Amino acid sequence: MDIRDQEIKRLMQAFQSVQGKSEDELIRELVGMIKSGRGGITPKKAESIIRTLEQMVSPKQRRILEKLLRELYRG
């Protein structure tokens, strides 16, 4: 199996792991990953990414990103 096949397999596993989960569950998981370091980025870096993405997405997607950001900095 080459690198490309491995990446596709990981991507498919990621999609399967989120199937059937609510928006709130996904946000909690993302926040947990970021805060624990498993996401590979710091909360500040995540904020920077979110702020950049907010300019390019629909209002509904922007609402989700803002919810993610609020949860990231919540107590």
Asked whether residue 50 is assigned to any structural domain, the reply reads yes
Q: Where are the alpha helices (DSSP H) in 19-58?
A: 23-36, 43-54
Asked whether residue 2 is assigned to any structural domain, the reply reads no
Distance in angstroms (rounded) separating the CA atoms of residues 75 and 62:
22
pLDDT surpasses 70 at 11:
no
List the domain range (segments joined by +) for residue 54.
Answer: 22-73
Structure confidence at residue 16 (pLDDT): 72
Asked whether residue 12 is assigned to any structural domain, the reply reads no
Query: pLDDT band for position 3 (50/70/90)?
Result: low
Residue-wise pLDDT for 21-75, tens only, equals: 899 998 998 899 889 988 788 899 989 999 999 999 999 999 999 999 999 999 6
Asked whether residue 69 is assigned to any structural domain, the reply reads yes
Asked whether residue 11 is assigned to any structural domain, the reply reads no
How many domains are contained in the chain?
1
